[in-house]
Amino acid sequence: MQKVLTSLPGVWELRPAVFRDARGYFLETYHQAKFEAFGITETFIQDNESCSSKGTLRGLHYQLRRPQAKLCRVVAGEVLDVAVDVRVGSPHFGKWTGIVLSAKAQNQVYIPVGFAHGFLALTEPAVFIYKCSAFYDPADEQGIIWNDPDLGIAWGDITPLVSERDQKFSALRAMPRELLPLNTRK
């Protein structure tokens, strides 16, 4: 497994060793000791999977009182995965990074707590799976509008399919500070 830094400290792309032969392939997607050596110490307690049609955009989501670190990958197709630092007091507040995750590359992204997360399905279909370090709590979920002009996320020239709920999120600058996580990393 190789850890690749992104433009946001703490958000890492992970590239596993893939062993291929005439039968197909084998790879480790999670190994607690190896992840701990990278600095990923969360205990993941929930796995989720979604299947999205091309052009579907999900996000940007985060939980406030029950924050979730996420370990994300794609098992069919390709997505643009985006993390936005929404931690009040962070030197990277309002900055984003994006990584193309694909079944072909078999790469993953680790997103720590305090980041809003979303993705755009680039293929038909895109099957996205992720581990979470806290249980999903719909009453605790918060979000930032996907096309916030201040963030300037480079989604590409698209008119995405976005849920009604995700279309109602506010821009980051309009979010009350008490609905944003605090920067607890030193």
Decide if 30 is catalytic. no
Cα–Cα nearest to 3, from 34, 24, 27: 34
Q: Cβ distance 82 to 95 under 8 Å?
A: no
Decide if 61 is catalytic. yes
Whole-angstrom Cα distance, residue 79 to residue 122? 5
* 30, 92, 130, 136: the active-site residue: 130
Whole-angstrom Cα distance, residue 178 to residue 182? 9
Whole-angstrom Cα distance, residue 30 to residue 27? 9
Residue 4 phi, psi dihedral angles, 5° rounding: -115, 125
* 61, 62, 92, 117: the active-site residue: 61
Q: Which residue reads 């605090």 in tokens?
A: 182
Cα–Cα nearest to 14, from 70, 54, 55, 66: 70
Q: Active-site residue numbers?
A: 61, 130
